[in-house]
A = this chain, B = another copy of it.
Amino acid sequence: MTLILTFLGKGGTGRSTVAIAAAHKLSTQGQRVLLICQEAGPALSLLLGTELGGSPSAISLADSAEGSSFQAVQLRSAELLDQNWEKLKNLEAQYLRDPFFKAVYGQELSIVPGMDDFLALNAIREYTESQQYDVIVHDGPGNQSSLRMWGAIGGIDWYFRRFKKVFQDSQFYRSISPFIAPITGAILSSGSSGDIWNRPETQSVESMVAKGKALVHDPMQLRAYVVTTDDAVAIAQGKYLWSAAQQIGLTVAGILVNARSGQADTASADEAFAPLPVAALPYRAEGSPWQSLADALPALDQPVAVPSPMSVDIASSTVKLFLPGFKKTQVKLTQYGPEVTVEAGDQRHNLSLPPALNGRSVTGAKFQDGYLIISFG
């Protein structure tokens, strides 16, 4: 199984530097490591001293031990879009007698907001499933948009389920359903007019989504570290991102404090991020060795002992969400039909409830010591 490490934090706090040191540390421990750069631009290549390509290539840092190296890749959305467009066209051609998209070349398509994230998610999924790497170190934007990306797996799943129901319940669907069979019969080369929701492709997407949701909730498959300095704004922004990560069920496994010179002072971070473990990192001047930074990092691939973002107690019919950093007034809980929705800090998520609680009514909620405790009737 591949473990994905990702880093959250205000820009300029040294996330990319930490990502390189992490890749170095884990590779010297014998792990097969892939460092993935999601941000466009030369910054990570300059830090590595090697220009990264769109396919993984081996990196040996100047001061790395004999034989220790890792792979690194720069995600390029334009290339990924072309490749995925070809796959989509092939899939379409298998099912439609007269495909829509064959006339459109991938090379014509420009990249609009959101695409980078979905292409990156898919690339990370493919690298994970290749089983060539023990650890993937992900150097992304590290802000709310990183959390939107990891949260998208559950978000999209919800849209699919919800709008499938809306569509099936609609008068429109009932009006056109007599027409649907002949149309699908005419365009689906299989000739089968079976229920599109039960086709094998739909089910394979559903199983992919289930795997993705499990991944986000399992700190042995995906975990984040918050990177900060001792600057008050950087700590506040880091604390916000820590809280926001909980909402999508992503475990923040620890805090890494970069020094702006000498050794980092962790006093403010210790206080802001309790009970998470806080590691002080030494300042690394440009061009100097990576080893001391790597040595100062905690064990990044070991089981974590931090509060779980969500815990369920079936016996007492309660769900406990860990939402550090928010005040009671900043958290909103609502229930519309079967969905229980938690909103805080410009994020809104529908809870993934276990079958025993699914569909039951919320009868009470309290906010206590950073935990939102929800009771079901």
Contacts and interface: CB of A to CB of B under 8 A. Distances in A.
Interface of A: 10-13, 39-43, 46-47, 76-78, 96-98, 100-101, 103-105, 107-118, 141, 143-145, 148-149, 151-152, 154-156, 158-159, 162-163, 166-167, 169-172, 175-176, 179, 183, 186-187, 232-233, 236-237, 240-241, 244, 286, 334, 336, 339, 341, 343, 345-350
A348 B79 CA distance: 10
Contacts of A46: 232-233, 236
Copies in the complex: 2
A78 B346 CA distance: 6
A145 B155 contact: no
A159 B13 CA distance: 38
A145 B149 contact: no
Nearest to A108: B336
A105 B109 CA distance: 33
B141 A241 contact: no
Label chain A's interface by main secondary structure: helix
A144 to B, nearest CB: 4
A41 B145 CA distance: 12
A346 B45 CA distance: 15
Contacts of A241: 41
A347 B40 CA distance: 9
A162 B10 CA distance: 39
A108 B240 contact: no
Given A12-B13, A158-B110, A233-B46, A143 B39 contact: yes
A349 B172 CA distance: 37
Contacts of A42: 233, 236-237, 240
A186 B178 CA distance: 14
A345 B41 CA distance: 8
Given A97-B171, A105-B336, 20 more contacts: A12-B13, A41-B143, A41-B236, A41-B237, A43-B233, A76-B346, A77-B346, A78-B343, A78-B346, A98-B171, A101-B166, A107-B343, A107-B348, A110-B349, A112-B152, A112-B159, A113-B118, A114-B117, A175-B186, A175-B187
A40 B149 contact: no
Contacts of A109: 159, 348
A117 B148 CA distance: 12
A112 B170 contact: no
22 contacts: A39-B144, A40-B144, A40-B345, A41-B144, A41-B237, A42-B233, A42-B236, A100-B167, A105-B336, A108-B341, A110-B348, A111-B347, A112-B151, A112-B159, A113-B116, A114-B114, A115-B148, A141-B141, A145-B145, A175-B183, A176-B179, A179-B183
